[in-house]
Amino acid sequence: MQSSKLCHLCAGATIAASARLGDHVVVYPGATVADDCLVAGFTQLWPGVRLERGACLGPGVTIQPPDEADASTVSFGPNCRIGANATILRGVRVGEGAVVEPGSVVAQSVPPHAIVSGAPARITGYVDSRSAQQVLAWRGQAEVQETGAVVRLDVGDVTLHRLSLVHDPRGDLVFGEFARDIPFAVKRYFMVFNVPSEKVRGEHAHRVCHQFLICAKGGCAVVVDDGATRCEVFLDSPDLGLYLPPMTWGTQYKCSGDTLLCVFTSHYYDPADYIRDYAEFLALVHKSPNNAA
Amino acid sequence: MQSSKLCHLCAGATIAASARLGDHVVVYPGATVADDCLVAGFTQLWPGVRLERGACLGPGVTIQPPDEADASTVSFGPNCRIGANATILRGVRVGEGAVVEPGSVVAQSVPPHAIVSGAPARITGYVDSRSAQQVLAWRGQAEVQETGAVVRLDVGDVTLHRLSLVHDPRGDLVFGEFARDIPFAVKRYFMVFNVPSEKVRGEHAHRVCHQFLICAKGGCAVVVDDGATRCEVFLDSPDLGLYLPPMTWGTQYKCSGDTLLCVFTSHYYDPADYIRDYAEFLALVHKSPNNAA
Amino acid sequence: MQSSKLCHLCAGATIAASARLGDHVVVYPGATVADDCLVAGFTQLWPGVRLERGACLGPGVTIQPPDEADASTVSFGPNCRIGANATILRGVRVGEGAVVEPGSVVAQSVPPHAIVSGAPARITGYVDSRSAQQVLAWRGQAEVQETGAVVRLDVGDVTLHRLSLVHDPRGDLVFGEFARDIPFAVKRYFMVFNVPSEKVRGEHAHRVCHQFLICAKGGCAVVVDDGATRCEVFLDSPDLGLYLPPMTWGTQYKCSGDTLLCVFTSHYYDPADYIRDYAEFLALVHKSPNNAA
Amino acid sequence: MQSSKLCHLCAGATIAASARLGDHVVVYPGATVADDCLVAGFTQLWPGVRLERGACLGPGVTIQPPDEADASTVSFGPNCRIGANATILRGVRVGEGAVVEPGSVVAQSVPPHAIVSGAPARITGYVDSRSAQQVLAWRGQAEVQETGAVVRLDVGDVTLHRLSLVHDPRGDLVFGEFARDIPFAVKRYFMVFNVPSEKVRGEHAHRVCHQFLICAKGGCAVVVDDGATRCEVFLDSPDLGLYLPPMTWGTQYKCSGDTLLCVFTSHYYDPADYIRDYAEFLALVHKSPNNAA
Amino acid sequence: MQSSKLCHLCAGATIAASARLGDHVVVYPGATVADDCLVAGFTQLWPGVRLERGACLGPGVTIQPPDEADASTVSFGPNCRIGANATILRGVRVGEGAVVEPGSVVAQSVPPHAIVSGAPARITGYVDSRSAQQVLAWRGQAEVQETGAVVRLDVGDVTLHRLSLVHDPRGDLVFGEFARDIPFAVKRYFMVFNVPSEKVRGEHAHRVCHQFLICAKGGCAVVVDDGATRCEVFLDSPDLGLYLPPMTWGTQYKCSGDTLLCVFTSHYYDPADYIRDYAEFLALVHKSPNNAA
Amino acid sequence: MQSSKLCHLCAGATIAASARLGDHVVVYPGATVADDCLVAGFTQLWPGVRLERGACLGPGVTIQPPDEADASTVSFGPNCRIGANATILRGVRVGEGAVVEPGSVVAQSVPPHAIVSGAPARITGYVDSRSAQQVLAWRGQAEVQETGAVVRLDVGDVTLHRLSLVHDPRGDLVFGEFARDIPFAVKRYFMVFNVPSEKVRGEHAHRVCHQFLICAKGGCAVVVDDGATRCEVFLDSPDLGLYLPPMTWGTQYKCSGDTLLCVFTSHYYDPADYIRDYAEFLALVHKSPNNAA
């Protein structure tokens, strides 16, 4: 462990040898700092606070201490980065690889790989997601802009579809045929609306159910993740469809105020089909045969 | 035939004996006035104009004459009523039982039983359609407001469905399951949007295809007609669904500016399945066995 | 009576000697045309239609005839003027001195002295009301723009009041003190809102009750009438108050969409205090002692 | 002259031999009907009304008669066409070749070749102006969409210019250089804004002044006319410029609510440079040498 | 006094024995920390800063120091709580029992018991005020929703009133009668409007004047406080009235942009009737006989 | 050098003798603190951070450290002031005399003399700029409100012009004549639009080119600076023009969403004419003869 001057490291704290602590850091009993962590300075790590491998806290990060009314503490997932002078409220977990921008006030847990900013902090993007490039390149290819075009996004078997759009003075029309345009027979639809723009939806994968997403009004970003790669797609036209096969982790955010998201599914509703914990999802993906390579 | 003073009835006009003509009416050669018609006064019936049985023209109705550029004439369907001082442009047909309000300027044909008003004339309602009463009564009945409620509208086998609606701070949700909540398996969806509020859509029946209509955004009036009775339903909530079995004449109008109409169908698209002529529809309905009574 | 060629005047019609009828006019039995009336041409006066003294109908005025379902007829008050090609629906009375603009379609009765226009016709002003001039002149006088200013409008004892307005960064403030700024003690308030801009309100006088009107939001025109003179005031600022003493006929119209009209009264509600018929109001005014001069 | 039954043609009227009058037409003393005119029926032509060569009045056209307060009459320019049941108020002139749609109420004079509709009537287009085709074709040509492109519109020397547009995250930029991009040195600018969408502006030509028009905000239709041909250009982008050389008749209409029209001129303001009468413009154009062919 | 390592406590500071100071706290001469205070760490208490009994400062709270231009300091009222990493500007007083959320930047003094959040900090609520529960329960009781219902709020004699509301197609109407529906005779009205949504109004009590508040447009939260209990009422309908007897501390906030608050008072304006200091209000309340129990 | 307790001053740091350091300040090797600087406490000055003469950092200012990916550091210009608990991101330079408000998060460099606030920080004003006073006084003088008025702003030869504005029911009109109303002949125009309200434009001077600015739509603040004095003008009316002679530093900010800024220039575009560095501008100004006094 490397520490600078004017730190106060209490007995009962666990600090890995490879961790680096800057000036004026306080580590209370019961706090844990794992390998390769960095605490830049002027931070108190309260009892119960946990920095997992590679977590980085910029200078002046302030963590709300637990109190009698609420004993929940704070944890920082592997390789997350917390910006200078950020404030982290009690009960928050910052997910693996997530980024908190400097000066943010984080009141809700941050999903893995998400980038958050502001006070209160909102998700503004995902780390290493290839969204803009991927989709723009896709739109730039003349052959896939045509009706009926289907493009693989290199995230498992996720595909983006250009469906039929007919302009008509009496009203425009989009349509699709199941088991033809859409790669499964459909047993259920649902529609999501009145989504506050700062909210995140989805954040789960299905074990066997296929989904097909259409943003019929407004716009919405969908992050798809097969456990190895991520891609962000902005659905902003009613003739764009996004196919999520089973075992795809999906997240929606950046909804415009009037978003209407229309989803078709291959199965009736079954709560047992949902995987809501990202770590469980990663574990399942990595032992499944079609991820063997 | 009963006519008042100061009329000018030309040789070559056909005027039924039971027709009544008011003052200052001019009937040119080639015009036709059928039984029980009334022309209240100050109207010229140009060559080719045809009043079918029971048609009524109020005083001062002005019909645009055909000219060299456009020889199309005007016809008035059985029992239609044209209000005082209305203007009827060339090429217009006013459908059976339709009503034109006084002072209107009618530039497009008027569907059977429709009520039109204004300059240019727009549809404002349907004669003898039980909309308001029927639907309000339906809404007043506590048992059918519940999720899962299905109500017959006494128009063939048309039914109105209350689907599931879940309020959630991250966005509201509606959903339905095909072959369970919705009385058929679905092979195709289409969505209609950007509908100008003055436009009328639909105006056809299907021979074998079932349809299920949901107004996912905004609102829209649907008139369903089994050839014997009519009902108008205003779809204004995403958890209201309207089931149209085959051989139901459907019309949509009064769309709010942001209407998004979502339709599920039991069959893939087949142009041969459409009946677009109301008279043909009536003929088919009246010889079909389940309209025998 | 002076009539042009090609008229059809039926036995049983009553036509004053001083009436003038243009070309192609039809007067049916039971119609009445009083002294000094003018019918310019191409009009049918149905049974029961009544033109009172001095009424003028422009060319091509079309009156909807009574039918079996609705036998109500049409009457034209003294000295009213109906513009060319206007359409008058059954049941309408055009009030004394009112004006219907050319081409209008009149579906509702027109108050005395009102000017109506459009299809359907709406009130756009009042004949001979001194609104603009009076109020602008009033506003031009520096001494009455000051807080506390009270101006007589030369309509009975009606007064316009400039109340106190205080601008404050935490919210602006208007106020008034009863029996001081406002010339009576108050027993009741009422507020009117959600007024459709095409609607007319008021149209009555009170026998003993004093009223004080403030337009707290939006704007609203008030026509005050003491039976001899009229004035139109546009209340568009929350520090403008209008005092209506008893025996003042008041009408409100031209409300902006967000109008909130706040009224203070000197008496509790008493239906017997209302005079709702303009003729009765005129009769009462003209025999009352303070109108003796 | 050919007239139908039940007309009333007064002594003192002037009716050309080639004019045709339908049924129930009344022509008062002092009215004039020129060669090749048509009056379809049910119309009164009051004293002073003038139909110039080839004017056509559809059935039921109603003209407001002059009265004591206002003796101005109505005139119909050569080859204009007035739709069925239109109402024409006193004082109106319908310009040469103009069209009034059926049922319109015309309260203001109609410019030459304009098409008007509604109550009150507004300009909706110009007869035989090649707008849509011309401009769309222009836009379809890839080589003229480029910055610096200049296209002749086949109306005198009028040209349409694609100026420079630079997108920048700090604000977009358009610019032009006088005597380079814009074909004259500039001595004056003016900007027009707060244009009610129903108003028409311009309606004049200049003798020597060159003009260059840019619609910097919103959109605006400009009709340019060299006395022989007309073209309508819709300026809807700040990098579109329209050059009007001297002796070009220009009219602007269909302004969107937020239109800001920016005009550069080659001369300082000089009222003597304006030609405001279309007939005078035509006369000057047709004797000028560069219209000799 | 209990203090952690790495503090710098200057001579001339006053620190109570029961105060607790965390790591890296600096207390300059002339600063005061009263009994039961907590300073969690990384805070400088400048000369003149005063923590009253029980005040709690979370970790990283930064106080702006006084400078030559502005020597005003900062004080923290009894039992207030300042969240982690909050910034407190010079001149601010945080009132008794108030709460500053983590990460807030506080530029204005905070009223007693208020909760503030954001940068700059705005009031978002009041501690221990029973608003939602009380009012929702009140609305849930069918008998008090009826016109004329009056409900005590258990804050002195404050009552909430459901006044008369009449829906009418010509405009809706609310009204009330003084000394009948409203429990006093009225001598004065005032209206408040153009209230910025972030502003707080009121913050005073009256000695003898009764008030009756109606939110005629928009909505507004009113906190009423009798010195012992608090209740927050959201006035959002023009038929809801709130009666404040004398010696009630009232505060309004959370005004929607279009709020129009209408207040009736039992007395003419008298500045001597206002109590504007909360401590003075508490003192007067607690010695007054009707607070004896 | 004066420093308080608990500082950590590393070898290799450069700290002027007249600098003052508060408690808990850390200065790493390679950081520089010039004369008369103040660092109030709880701040780490990373390697490469530079405080120029008179820079003041309030308590708790947090500076983002350089990292492997981005080695750019932070510099604080002469006499700038950084508020308590502000966060300064890497790569930022705070210009001479600029002010960062407490609690701000500064992600972009701050121009000289600007005042920034918020997270992320935006410019809210300029230090010592006489804007409001100057312009209000100007507007208060009746003689300069008249059309044609020209007022010197005491910033070099910058002048503010009241141009001609004509109200017309067909659209309002503003205009100007070059070399008459506007003090140069014009060779080029440009228009700026779609300016995000948080963006700053301009920030340069011209060597020989004259400019004339008009805000044709919306509003925009322009700061003009001759190297000695500054003035802020808010252009919010299309008849206000601002003349910038050569060697005037100009900045635009606070654009309303719909701003359209129209600029006329005396020269064609020449990149060599731009001075984009404020220090270079100051140097040029101070050696030029007409700044000799």
B59: nearest CB among C65, C85, C119: C65
Looking at chain B, the whole-number percentage of residues with pLDDT higher than 90 is 51
Q: What is the 3-state secondary structure of C39-92?
A: EEEEEEECCCCEECCCCEECCCCEECCCCCCCCCCCEECCCCEECCCCEECCCC
Its pTM stands at 0.73
Residues of C in contact with E209 (CB under 8 A): none
Q: Which residue in chain D is spatially nearest to B7 when comparing CA positions?
A: D6
Nearest CA among D11, D4, D5, D6 for reference residue D27 = D11
pLDDT tens-digit readout, E190-211: 999 888 777 778 889 999 999 9
Residue E68 within a domain: yes
Nearest CA among B69, B23, B73, B19 for reference residue B46 = B73
Minimum distance, in Å, between the CA of residue F200 and any CA atom of chain D = 7
Cα distance between residue D21 and residue D61, in whole Å: 13
Residues of A in contact with E100 (CB under 8 A): none
With an 8 Å Cβ cutoff, the interface of chain E facing chain A consists of: 4-6, 22-24, 40-42, 58-60, 83-85, 102-103, 118-119
**Are F39 and F147 within one domain?**
no
Q: Provide mean pLDDT across the span A22-38.
A: 94
CA dist E132 → D75, E153, E239, E248, E255 (Å): 72, 12, 19, 20, 16
pLDDT tens-digit readout, A50-68: 999 999 999 999 999 998 8
Tokens at E28, concatenated: 């300059």
Residue C293 within a domain: no
F238: nearest CB among D187, D193, D268: D193
**Are E160 and E280 within one domain?**
yes
**Residue-level pLDDT at F268:** 93
Residue with the larger pLDDT of the pair A68 and B222:
B222
Tokens at E143, concatenated: 């008998």
Query: Cα-flanking dihedrals φ and ψ of residue E164, to 5°?
Result: -85, 135
Please check the confidence at residue B138 and state whether its pLDDT lies above 70.
no
Cα distance between residue A85 and residue A63, in whole Å: 10
Q: Is C204 an active-site residue?
A: yes
Contact status, residue C117 vs residue C253, Cβ threshold 8 Å: no
CB-based touch F/B (3+ pairs, under 8 A): no
**Are D95 and D41 within one domain?**
yes
Asked if the Cβ–Cβ distance from B195 to A262 is below 8 Å, we say: no
Q: Which residue in chain B is spatially nearest to A179 when comparing CA positions?
A: B187
Q: What domain range includes position A3?
A: 1-127
Residue E63 within a domain: yes
Cα distance between residue D76 and residue D93, in whole Å: 6
B238: nearest CB among A178, A191, A199: A191
Tokens at C108, concatenated: 């509702």
DSSP tag of D260: E
Return the CATH number at E232.
Answer: 2.60.120.10
**Residue-level pLDDT at A104:** 97
Among D26, D39, D42, D89, the residue to mutate for chain C (most C Cβ within 10 A): D26
**Residue-level pLDDT at D80:** 95
Neighbouring chains of D at 3+ CB pairs under 8 Å are B, C, F
Asked if the Cβ–Cβ distance from D60 to B64 is below 8 Å, we say: no
Cα distance between residue E112 and residue A161, in whole Å: 58
Please check the confidence at residue C28 and state whether its pLDDT lies above 90.
yes
Q: Provide mean pLDDT across the span A206-223.
A: 93
Residue D293 within a domain: no
**Are B19 and B43 within one domain?**
yes
**Are C67 and C173 within one domain?**
no
| Cβ pairs bridging A and B (under 8 Å) | 120
Last residue of a domain, one of A70, A94, A127: A127
Last residue of a domain, one of B89, B106, B127: B127
Residue D261 within a domain: yes
Tokens at F89, concatenated: 């991101």
Minimum distance, in Å, between the CA of residue A4 and any CA atom of chain F = 9
Residue E293 within a domain: no
> If you search the block for the tokens 């100050």, which residue do you land on?
B42
**Are E116 and E144 within one domain?**
no
**Are F13 and F69 within one domain?**
yes
> If you search the block for the tokens 């139908």, which residue do you land on?
D4
Q: Consecutive 10-residue runs of chain D (293 residues): their mean pLDDT?
A: 76 93 93 96 95 96 90 92 96 93 94 90 80 49 60 86 83 88 92 81 91 93 87 88 94 86 94 90 76 41
Last residue of a domain, one of F127, F149, F176: F127
Return the CATH number at A59.
Answer: 2.160.10.10
**Are A139 and A281 within one domain?**
yes
Residue D238 within a domain: yes
Residue F292 within a domain: no
**Are A147 and A268 within one domain?**
yes
Please check the confidence at residue A15 and state whether its pLDDT lies above 90.
yes
Domain count, chain F: 2
**Residue-level pLDDT at B1:** 63
Q: Provide mean pLDDT across the span C222-246.
A: 89
Residues of E in contact with A85 (CB under 8 A): 85
CB-based burial label for B242 (10 Å; 0-12, 13-18, 19+): buried
Other Cβ atoms within 10 Å of C266 Cβ, number: 20
Q: What is the DSSP string of F46-62?
A: -TT-EE-TT-EE-TT-E
**Are F154 and F86 within one domain?**
no
**Are F120 and F135 within one domain?**
no
Q: Are strands B62-63 and B38-45 parallel, antiparallel or unpaired?
A: unpaired
Asked if the Cβ–Cβ distance from C187 to E194 is below 8 Å, we say: no
Please check the confidence at residue A183 and state whether its pLDDT lies above 70.
yes
> If you search the block for the tokens 């913050």, which residue do you land on?
E203
Tokens at E13, concatenated: 């500071």
Residues of A in contact with E83 (CB under 8 A): 64, 87
Please check the confidence at residue A142 and state whether its pLDDT lies above 50.
no
Q: Which of F167, F204, F206, F286 is catalytic?
A: F204
Q: Which of E8, E204, E210, E267 is catalytic?
A: E204
CB-based touch A/B (3+ pairs, under 8 A): yes
**Residue-level pLDDT at E131:** 53
Residue with the larger pLDDT of the pair A292 and A147:
A147
* CB hemisphere CA count around F25 (13 angstroms): 24
Contact status, residue B27 vs residue B6, Cβ threshold 8 Å: no
CA dist B35 → B41, B53, B287, C145 (Å): 17, 5, 27, 72
Return the amino acid letter for C266: S
Q: Consecutive 10-residue runs of chain F (293 residues): their mean pLDDT?
A: 76 93 93 96 95 96 90 92 96 93 94 90 80 49 61 86 84 88 92 81 91 93 88 88 94 86 94 90 76 41
F62: nearest CB among A4, A6, A60: A60
**Are A123 and A134 within one domain?**
no
Q: A167-176, B120-129, B278-287, F128-137: which range is least confident on average?
A: F128-137
Q: A6-10, C39-43, C156-160, D159-163: which range is least confident on average?
A: A6-10
Residue with the larger pLDDT of the pair B146 and F95:
F95
